[in-house]
C-alpha cells in the first residue's frame, strides 16, 4: 500500500506498508485514485496545526469503493466517489440553525486520510463524507470536490446579485474556485488581487478573471476603473493573511459585503474597525465544507463541478505518487495552484 507519512518535525516520507486498514462500522473503504493538497495539510506540515490532534492526513480525495460495512448506506462497492460533506444529521443544534458544516468533525469522518492508497470514510444515515462521481468528471478533477464544496460555501455567503462586481484577494485554489462559481452564478466583473507576479501570470493564463492585479496602488486603480470609484459590491479575502482583511474592507463599496474565506494564523496589529461602521459593511465568515443539496437530494456541488470542470482543469498540476514530495514543495512555494497526487 502506498502512503505519504507525516512525521514529527514537519517531515514527509513515502512508505509502502503491508498492513491492511480494517473496516469499521458506518464506514466504507475507498481505493484512493487521487488526492489534492490543501492549505490545512501544509499547516500541519509546517507546525501551524497540532498533528497530535488530527486523526487523518489528506481529505481532498477521489477513488473507488471496495468495501462497505453493515452500518453504511447509499454507497456500494464499485462506486466512484469523492470526498465532501454530502449528508448531515439534520437534528443537532448546528443543522437546525443552518450550519451543517459543524455537524461532525472530520476527525470522525475519515481515517487515515486521502494520502494513503486506501482510506475509510463515513457514510451513515446521519452523516456522509462521500458523494458519487458522474462519468463526466475524471478522477483528478473529482479530487477537487471537497475544496469546491468549501468554495461553494464562500459563493453562497457572497450572496451576489446578477451583475455584482467581485474582487478576490488571493490567487490560491480557494479564491480561484470561488471566482469560477461566482461567474456561473451571474457575477459581473471579477478581479483578482495577488502579491506574487509569477502567480499573477498563472492566474491570467487561466482566462477566468476580467483582471488580475497586484496588491498596490496601480492594482487599486484598476479596481476603481472597473468597479467605479466607490468600490466593489463583494470582496472575498482568501489569502490567509490577516492584515489583508483590513484592505478588503476598504475595497468594498458603501453597503458592500466582505467574505472572510481564510484560515488565519495570527492577528491584525492595530486593527481599525471604523470602516465597518462608516461604510456600513456586512462582514461574514465562510467555513466549509457543508451539505449543499438539490431538491432531488443530489449534491449541488457535484452539479456545479459538472459545469465548471474545464476551468478547474486549468488550475490543477498532477503528480505521480513517486513525485509526491515535490508536489508538497510546489504547493508550498506557489508553483502549483492546486497540486493533485495520483495513486
> Residue 241 is part of a domain; what is its CATH number?
3.40.50.720
Give Cα separations from 46 to 9, 120, 266, 274 (angstroms). Answer: 8, 25, 14, 34
Q: Write down the pLDDT at residue 65.
A: 98
DSSP 175-215: HHHHHHHHHHTT-S-EEEEES-HHHHHHHHHHT--SEEEES
Same domain, 254 and 174: yes
Predicted pLDDT of residue 52: 77
pLDDT value at position 260? 97
Per-residue pLDDT tens over the stretch 23-76: 999 999 999 999 999 999 999 998 878 777 888 999 999 999 999 999 899 999
- Give the end-to-end CA distance of the chain in Å, rounded to a whole number: 10
Annotate 17-70 with DSSP letters as a single string. --PPPPP-TTEEEEEEEEEEPPHHHHHHHHTSS-GGG-S-S--EEEEEEEEE-T
- Do 190 and 266 lie in one domain? The reply is yes
Same structural domain for residues 25 and 103? yes
- Judgement on whether residues 25 and 104 belong to the same structural domain of the protein: yes
CA dist., res. 209 & res. 192, Å (int)? 7
Reported as half-sphere exposure (CB side, CA atoms, 13 A), residue 295 has a value of: 0
Residue 53: count of CB within 10 angstroms of its CB: 8
Helices and strands (H and E) in the chain: how many: 11, 16
Domain boundary (285, 300, 315) is at 285
Where among 285, 300, 327 does a domain terminate? 285
pLDDT at residue 53, as a whole number: 80
pLDDT reported for residue 48: 79
- Of 209, 250, 211, 244, nearest to 231 (Cα)? 250
pTM score, whole prediction: 0.95
Number of domains in the chain: 2
The answer on 324 and 186 residing in a single domain is no
Considering the domain architecture, whether residues 180 and 279 belong to the same structural domain is answered as: yes
Same domain, yes or no: 128 and 197: no
Q: Can you give the CATH number for the domain in which 125 is found?
A: 3.90.180.10
* DSSP type of residue 298: S
As beta bridge partners, residue 284 has: 259
Of 253, 269, 285, the last residue of a domain is 285
Query: Which residues of the chain fall below pLDDT 50?
Result: none
Return the pLDDT at 35: 98
CA distance 299 to 186: 20
Same domain (yes/no): 47, 79: yes
132 with 162, same domain?
no
- Considering the domain architecture, whether residues 14 and 52 belong to the same structural domain is answered as yes
Domain, as residue range, for 82:
3-149+289-342
Please name which of 279, 272, 213 lies closest in space to residue 245, comparing C-alpha atoms: 272
**Are residues 94 and 14 both part of a single domain?**
yes
93, 145: one domain: yes
Amino acid at each position: 500500500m502506498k502512503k505519504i507519512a507525516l512525521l514529527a518535525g514537519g517531515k514527509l516520507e513515502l512508505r509502502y506498508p503491508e498492513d491492511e486498514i480494517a473496516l469499521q462500522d458506518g464506514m466504507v473503504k475507498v481505493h484512493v485514485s487521487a488526492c489534492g493538497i490543501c492549505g490545512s495539510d501544509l499547516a500541519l506540515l509546517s507546525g501551524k496545526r497540532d498533528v497530535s490532534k488530527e486523526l487523518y492526513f489528506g481529505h481532498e480525495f477521489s477513488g473507488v469503493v471496495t468495501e462497505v460495512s453493515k452500518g453504511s448506506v447509499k454507497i456500494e462497492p464499485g462506486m466512484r466517489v469523492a470526498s465532501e460533506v454530502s449528508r448531515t444529521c439534520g437534528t443537532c443544534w448546528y443543522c437546525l440553525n443552518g450550519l451543517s458544516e459543524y455537524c461532525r468533525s472530520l476527525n470522525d469522518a475519515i481515517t487515515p486520510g486521502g494520502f494513503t492508497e486506501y482510506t475509510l470514510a463515513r457514510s451513515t444515515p446521519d452523516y456522509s463524507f462521500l458523494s458519487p462521481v458522474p462519468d463526466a468528471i475524471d478522477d483528478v478533477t473529482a479530487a477537487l470536490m471537497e475544496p469546491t464544496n468549501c468554495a461553494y460555501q464562500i459563493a453562497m455567503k457572497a450572496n451576489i446579485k446578477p451583475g455584482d462586481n467581485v474582487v478576490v484577494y488571493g490567487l490560491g485554489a480557494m479564491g480561484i474556485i470561488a471566482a469560477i462559481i461566482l461567474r456561473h452564478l451571474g457575477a459581473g466583473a471579477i478581479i483578482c488581487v495577488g502579491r506574487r507576479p509569477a502567480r499573477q501570470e498563472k492566474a491570467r493564463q487561466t482566462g477566468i478573471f476580467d483582471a488580475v492585479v497586484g496588491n498596490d496602488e496601480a492594482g487599486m486603480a484598476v479596481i476603481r476603473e472597473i468597479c467605479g470609484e466607490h468600490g466593489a459590491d463583494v470582496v472575498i479575502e482568501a489569502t490567509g493573511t490577516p492584515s489583508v482583511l483590513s484592505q478588503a474592507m476598504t475595497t468594498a463599496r458603501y453597503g458592500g459585503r466582505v467574505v472572510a474565506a481564510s484560515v488565519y494564523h495570527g492577528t491584525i496589529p492595530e486593527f481599525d474597525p471604523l470602516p465597518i461602521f462608516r461604510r456600513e459593511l456586512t462582514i461574514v465568515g465562510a467555513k466549509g465544507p457543508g451539505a449543499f443539496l438539490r431538491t432531488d437530494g443530489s449534491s449541488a456541488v457535484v452539479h456545479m463541478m459538472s459545469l465548471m470542470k474545464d476551468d478547474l482543469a486549468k488550475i490543477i498540476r498532477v503528480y505521480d505518487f513517486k513525485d509526491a514530495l515535490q508536489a508538497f514543495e510546489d504547493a508550498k512555494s506557489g508553483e502549483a495552484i492546486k497540486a493533485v497526487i495520483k495513486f
